[in-house]
Amino acid sequence: MKIQERAGAGAGRSAAPAQPSVGDRLPTPPRERKPALAALAVLLILVGALGATMLVLQVGDRIEVVKVTKEIPAGQAVNDGSVESILVVDDPEINYIPWTQLSALKKLKAVSTIPANVVAVGDMFGDGAKIPDGKSVVGLSLKEGQYPAGIEGGDIVTAYRVGGAGSSSGGGADEDGGSAAGGSSSVIAEQARVESVPKQRGDSGIVSSANLPVTLVVDSAQAAALTQAASNGEVALVLVPGNEKAAPHSWP
């Protein structure tokens, strides 16, 4: 009798486990967003790689050229202390001087005064300085007292005849210089531009017993009188009051 009751009770049961109702489901934890973060990290890596690639490409378009760091007077050559290397964007329309050609550049001269802090180009150099029409270059050898202390390239000076009697060479000075006749102290050349002068004492330059070589650019009409007075040691230079240095690449 008990066996039948057990059989009857088991007949109404299902073999599959009972499924909980919808309302009885346990809450599931929210999914972590690790795949999204990974995708973002990959994107950032790609962006960084692209930026690095662009930077490399830009650097690849740059060339090492010569930059002037110290003013170079007309007719003078560059030296290791007046130039340095710098990277610039390569431009076929600009005649840059490659840093690898520095040795060859030292054999050339500045055709006009080159200011500091500019990138050198081929047109700035040649076999010698270019002198404009109506101008002449005169070299002087002056003793101490015949030039102002600290004189340097670019200064504007007036050249005076001093020390001589003036009568023996005054006529020629009048004819060529226009204002150097008569008297022992007269103007030979006004608004003369100092093109080059070596460093003086105190700048590890010449000794006190040596004359100072100074190169002036003057009007051609004044050159003869200035040269004559210089050969007699009768020239003194005076800085022009209130005048700034001549602008680079210009002549007085």
pLDDT in tens, 203-244: 444 444 468 888 888 898 998 999 899 888 899 999 987 655
Distance between CA atoms of 165 and 229, rounded to whole angstroms?
Answer: 11
Which pLDDT belongs to residue 172? 42
Query: What pLDDT is stored for residue 196 in this prediction?
Result: 77
pLDDT at 6: 54
For the entire predicted model, the pTM comes to 0.45
- Give residue 205's pLDDT: 44
Q: Which three-class secondary structure state does DSSP give residue 95? A: coil
- The class (CATH top level) of 62-126 is alpha beta
Which regions in the chain score pLDDT beneath 50? 1, 165-183, 203-209, 247-252
- Containing H/E element for 64? strand 62-68
Residue 142, strand partner residues: 212
CA dist 99 and 85 (Å) reads 6
Q: What is the pLDDT of residue 245?
A: 58
- Tokens 């073999």 belong to 15
As annotated, the residues of the chain forming the CATH 3.90.1210.10 domain(s) are 62-126
